[in-house]
């Protein structure tokens, strides 16, 4: 298994294990390192190839887009505005409608703790999230289903919010989304999960798990 494929496998494992607490801190940090390394290797490989729009590696490039998300954790609420940097098909099955897109995004967001929580009750975040998006079959009734997975990194303006102690401003952003979009790609709705933590770089590392809805529209 290549470093890139190991990184993709680690990304999936990390999302599942983080959500359910299936691994210890040291194992989680190792998975995080492998996943980030695989993501960086993926993008470095694309850059080395040049990734021209008409190449077999990254063909049929899609438009950039704006993305708005509203999400909630058990104690926090969040809203974010993202900019999809584009989308390109990295792989398509010859015998089925399955395909894989590269769909990185930049994101700015704001969090707010529940009323009565300790100060600070608000913070801002900024993140870059490389993401992979699988299209799951052919369009039906003008709609298409997809699954998105990504691991990125970013900064939060405060290392603590309400009762949640994050300890560092640097954080990892693990995302998973089940999306529904129009066959002509004019809009996309998604049910999203976002896990934010520092991979135990410093403790306490009280993770945040947001569940939310997002809408994305292409930019002209």
Which of 15, 85, 95 is CA-nearest to residue 46?
Answer: 85
Q: What is the pTM of this model?
A: 0.74
Position 35 scores a pLDDT of 57
Sequence spans of domains, the chain? 54-218
Give, to the nearest 10 degrees, the angle between helix 25-49 and helix 3-20: 140
Reported as a single tens digit per residue, the pLDDT across 73-95 is 999 999 999 999 888 887 777 76
54-218 is classed CATH 2.40.50.100:
no
Check if the beta carbon of residue 218 is closer than 8 Å to that of residue 39.
no
Percent of the chain with pLDDT strictly greater than 70: 71
Check if the beta carbon of residue 29 is closer than 8 Å to that of residue 14.
no
pLDDT band at 136 (very low <50, low <70, confident <90, very high): confident
pLDDT band at 5 (very low <50, low <70, confident <90, very high): very low
Position 95 scores a pLDDT of 66
Name the burial class of residue 12, with classes exposed (0-12), middle (13-18) and buried (19+) by CB atoms within 10 angstroms of its CB. Answer: middle
Take residue 17 and report the two structure tokens written for it.
């294990």
Q: Which residue has the tokens 């993926």?
A: 42
Position 93 scores a pLDDT of 76
Check if the beta carbon of residue 69 is closer than 8 Å to that of residue 216.
no
Position 31 scores a pLDDT of 54
């Amino acid at each position: 298994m290549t470093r890139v494929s190991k990184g993709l496998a680690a990304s999936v494992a990390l999302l599942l294990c983080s959500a359910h607490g299936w691994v210890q801190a040291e194992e989680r940090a190792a998975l995080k390192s492998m996943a980030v390394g695989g993501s960086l290797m993926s993008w470095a490989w694309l850059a080395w190839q040049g990734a021209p729009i008409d190449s077999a590696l990254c063909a049929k490039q899609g438009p950039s887009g704006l993305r708005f998300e509203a999400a909630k954790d058990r104690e926090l609420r969040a809203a974010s505005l993202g900019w999809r940097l584009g989308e390109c098909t990295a792989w398509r099955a010859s015998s089925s409608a399955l395909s894989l897109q590269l769909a990185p995004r930049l994101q700015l967001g704001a969090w707010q703790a529940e009323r009565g929580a300790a100060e600070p009750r608000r913070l801002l975040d900024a993140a870059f999230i490389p993401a992979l998006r699988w299209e799951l079959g052919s369009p039906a009734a003008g709609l298409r289903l997809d699954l998105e997975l990504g691991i990125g990194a970013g900064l939060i303006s405060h290392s603590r919010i309400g009762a949640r102690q994050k300890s560092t401003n640097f954080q990892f952003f693990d995302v998973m989304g089940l999306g529904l979009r129009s066959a002509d790609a004019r809009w996309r709705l998604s049910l999203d999960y976002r896990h934010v933590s520092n991979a135990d770089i410093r403790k306490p590392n009280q993770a945040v798990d947001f569940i939310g809805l997002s809408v994305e529209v292409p930019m002209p």
